């Protein structure tokens, strides 16, 4: 807290997906075992891929940027919808879902930038996250 701003950068990271990411592997494993995949219908999130995250970190480090950076997608989605769309893209037929409710209202745990926006070529959308979670 007492360090000058020039000596640190805060990077806020959302859920990370991608081809062969731990979360996608977990979805595939639970499907293969015919187990329920936990989803949160009332949680609004954004996400990123490990490829985009590394590009963004590379950009921040190489330009000696300081401040707080939110590296999630530019759009939001409910957690359940995202997992369902990833399952559809993976061509998983009739996966089992276990709805987990932590509240009766939507909860937003997305990380969106207010300041320190990155260039457009370093932004990502939920559609990109889904596509990059299944491509080979």
Q: Quick one: DSSP state of residue 118?
A: P
Q: Please name every residue paired with 77 in a beta bridge, in sequence order, or none if there are none.
A: 45
Task: Record the pTM.
Answer: 0.88
pLDDT computed for residue 82 by the predictor: 97
Structural domains for the chain? 5-134 (3.40.50.720)
Secondary element (H or E) of residue 67: strand 67-70
Q: 72: exposed, middle or buried (C-beta count within 10 Å: 0-12, 13-18, 19+)?
A: buried
27, pLDDT greater than 80: yes
| Alpha helix positions (H), the chain | 22-32, 50-62, 79-89, 126-134
Whether 6 has a pLDDT exceeding 80, the answer reads no
Residues 80-122 have pLDDT tens digits of 999 999 999 999 999 999 999 988 899 999 888 888 889 999 9
CA-based nearest residue to 105, from 46, 40, 37, 47: 40
* Largest Cα span, the chain: 53
């Amino acid at each position: 807290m007492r360090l000058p701003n020039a000596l640190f950068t805060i990077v806020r990271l959302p859920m990370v997906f991608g081809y062969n990411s731990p979360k996608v592997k977990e979805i595939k494993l639970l499907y293969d075992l015919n187990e329920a995949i936990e989803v949160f219908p009332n949680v609004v999130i954004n996400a990123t891929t490990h490829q985009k995250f590394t590009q963004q970190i590379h950009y921040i480090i190489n330009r000696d940027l300081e401040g707080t950076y939110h590296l999630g997608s530019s759009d939001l989605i409910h957690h359940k919808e995202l997992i369902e769309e990833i399952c559809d893209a993976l061509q998983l037929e009739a996966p089992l879902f276990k709805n987990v409710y932590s509240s009766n209202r939507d909860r937003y745990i997305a990380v969106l930038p207010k300041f320190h926006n990155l260039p457009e070529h370093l932004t990502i959308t939920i559609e990109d996250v889904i596509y990059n979670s299944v491509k080979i």
